[in-house]
Amino acid sequence: MDSDRDVEIALCLFREANDALIVFDPRDRRVVDVNPTALRLTGFERKAALGMKLPDLLSSPDPNRFRRLLDACQRTGFFHSREGYFLSRAGRPPIPVNVSVSRIHTRPEPLGLAMIRDISERTRVEAELEKARDGLEARVRERTAELADAIEAMRAEIAERLRVEAKLREAKEAAEDAGRVKDRFLAVLSHELRTPLTPVLAVVSALLDDPDPSPVPRSALEMIRRCITLEARLIDDLLDIMGAGRGKLRLDRAEVDAHLLIEQSIEICRHEADAAGVRIAVDLSARDHMVDADPARFQQVLWNLVQNAVKWTPEGGTISVGTREAQGGRLVVSVADDGRGIEPEVLPTIFEPFEQGQTSHGRNLGGLGLGLSISRSIVEAHGGHLTAASEGPRRGATFEFDMPVVVKSSLAPSATKAAENGRDGASILLVEDNKDIVRFLKIVLEMKGHRVVTAVDLASAFEAALRPFDLLVSDIDLPDGSGLDLMRGLRGRMPGIAISGYGSPDDIQLSLDAGFLAHLTKPVESGHLQAAILDALAARDRFPAAG
């Protein structure tokens, strides 16, 4: 009975859809069925349309465009949407359309579904806007010419104007040089700040993860790790805001479980919430919660929002974290609190860098005021929106952001495989010229059950690499060269993880281009390093000489 009703609903949707829907056989692209909108849009009779093939109805300047669209649909089974097509019409010129193609799981063979949307009106508006822009540019050129004539008439002022322009150019070049020096200084500063933190954070993390009790009070270790992590986060925030301003915010997107990431993030933030006497309530009610996102960046947004809520919620308050589904295949994540709230005059600037939601009556609770700005940049880089709402002072605040949902996950169970590969430990070549870092990283890795051989420069690393290793863990800056040269020189004999105090998007890309599977920025927690090692070990089969 339910099956008949499902069929009835599907047929109703097919008939009443505002978009043209065409069912076709993927093997020969023959049209199997069309809905009334498709007939109305093309002007063909139903009988004539059923005698056609899909390429007869859709054309493109690139003859291979439609074939690639169909191939992508065949491989994944998901909707693949493209523009750049024109829909043929009976006795009328073709119109520009957007084409989305998906697979229909019918028996005995699956069929394809093409959803065609008329974008001619939008194209017309864009053309008019382009024409208006050209007209505006022409008027600007005319006005510029008039101004040039006026300047020509003022000969007495030409010499002074040229002198001023030369000074301005010099000032601009000096400012640009100073900006480059500042960027380099910040990068070097972050490297120098991160490097001494690495052995401390690695050892503290390892001691906290060790099931055997440590003579050092656990609260002291927690304090040390929290302070080091905070300093590293401040450095990351500075670099992130610089990268976002240049459009260089790096994303490593994958299909991930948003609910799992949210739960992990809340556990990380729960210590601060408990210390502040704030309760965190969780309601993960969205049914579809696999998202196309960078997992680390997703958690960074949630950390910022939850920590921001903890900061402005008084003792005894509650922070509510929830999920819901939205139209267009989006997952909405909300973080709401019943704390201080946001003044109306502050709300428009809440996402600006270095803003902390303060007025003349506010108080400074620490931080650089970059978290919300970075979070907005991250969400927008995923094609989403981050919004803030508040009914005013002492009425709490609500932040919401959305991410694209992936209904069917094609994730392979790589984590399980990685765990199996790393269960008995791995043979690791550790290359690092800092004596403290190499000493304590070796201790931490051996605590995890790995077998570690160390090298302090490029020459000794190449000599050690004559023996087989499961994995390379290498610093980038070495006394006689670079870890990038080392990775290239190994020619894929083993997977590698780069560790560096430099963590800009350009630095990370250089490591990946050299062949490293991951780039970890100092200071590195032992848990993060172990996770990266397990992921790398899962990929060992791609390295013919590894293992």
Q: What is the pLDDT of residues 89-117, one digit of tens each?
A: 888 999 999 888 888 877 888 888 888 99
pLDDT at 231: 62
Which tokens belong to 140? 């600007």
Percentage, residues of the chain above pLDDT 90: 26
Three-class SS string for 418-486?
HHHHHCCCCEEEEECCCHHHHHHHHHHHHHCCCEEEEECCHHHHHHHCCCCCCEEEEECEECCEEHHHH
Winning range, highest mean pLDDT, from 58-72, 175-189, 272-286: 272-286
pLDDT at 208: 66
Residue written as tokens 């200084």? Answer: 185
Q: Are 55 and 100 in contact (CB under 8 A)?
A: no
Alpha-carbon Rg for the chain, nearest whole angstrom, is 29
Taken as a whole, the chain contains a residue count of 547
pLDDT at 202: 67
- Looking only at the bridges linking them, the beta strands covering 427-431 and 318-326 are unpaired
Above 50 in pLDDT, residue 407? yes
Q: Pick the residue with more confidence: 456 or 349?
A: 456
Above 70 in pLDDT, residue 199? no
Domains annotated on the chain, with CATH: 2-118 (3.30.450.20), 154-248+414-547 (3.40.50.2300), 254-404 (3.30.565.10)
Q: In what order do the strands lie in the sheet with 111-118?
A: 30-34, 20-25, 111-118, 92-104, 80-89, 58-59
pLDDT at 422: 45
Bridge partners of 59?
Answer: 86
Which tokens belong to 529? 């390093």
What's the pTM? 0.42
Find, among 333, 223, 335, 348, the residue nearest to 285 by Cα.
333
DSSP single-letter state for residue 405: B
Percentage, residues of the chain above pLDDT 70: 76
CA 436/CA 197 separation, integer angstroms: 10
CA 14/CA 141 separation, integer angstroms: 52
Q: Nearest 5°: phi and psi at 399? A: -115, 135
Give the number of C-alpha atoms closer than 13 A to the C-alpha of residue 126, restricted to the C-beta side. 6
Q: How confident is the model at residue 270 (pLDDT cuts 50, 70, 90)?
A: confident
Above 50 in pLDDT, residue 410? no
Q: What's the mean per-residue pLDDT of the chain?
A: 80
Per-residue pLDDT reduced to its tens digit, 498-545: 998 787 778 889 999 999 999 988 777 777 788 889 888 887 655 554
pLDDT at 271: 81
Please state the rounded mean pLDDT for residues 57-61: 82
Above 60 in pLDDT, residue 132? yes
Q: What amino acid occupies position 527? A: G
DSSP single-letter state for residue 216: S
Q: How many helices (H) and strands (E) does the chain have?
A: 18, 20
Q: Pick the residue with more confidence: 141 or 360?
A: 141
CA 287/CA 289 separation, integer angstroms: 6
pLDDT at 216: 55
- Residue 328, Cβ neighbours under 10 Å: how many? 8
Q: Are 333 and 404 in contact (CB under 8 A)?
A: no
pLDDT at 233: 61
CA 347/CA 334 separation, integer angstroms: 17
pLDDT at 175: 67
Per-residue pLDDT reduced to its tens digit, 220-235: 566 566 556 656 665 6
Q: Are 70 and 25 in contact (CB under 8 A)?
A: no
**Contacts with 139 (C-beta within 8 Å, 6 or more apart), sequence order:** none
DSSP single-letter state for residue 488: H
Q: How confident is the model at residue 413 (pLDDT cuts 50, 70, 90)?
A: very low
pLDDT at 352: 79
Q: Nearest 5°: phi and psi at 376? A: -60, -45
Q: Pick the residue with more confidence: 69 or 500?
A: 500
Please state the rounded mean pLDDT for residues 9-32: 85
Three-class SS string for 100-128?
EEEEECCCCCCEEEEEEEECHHHHHHHHH
Query: Which of 25-39, 146-160, 167-181 comes out lowest in average pLDDT?
Result: 167-181
Above 80 in pLDDT, residue 65? no
CA 395/CA 337 separation, integer angstroms: 9
Contacts 24+ apart (CB under 8 A), 11-20: 17/115, 19/115, 19/116, 19/117, 20/87, 20/97, 20/115, 20/116, 20/117, 20/118
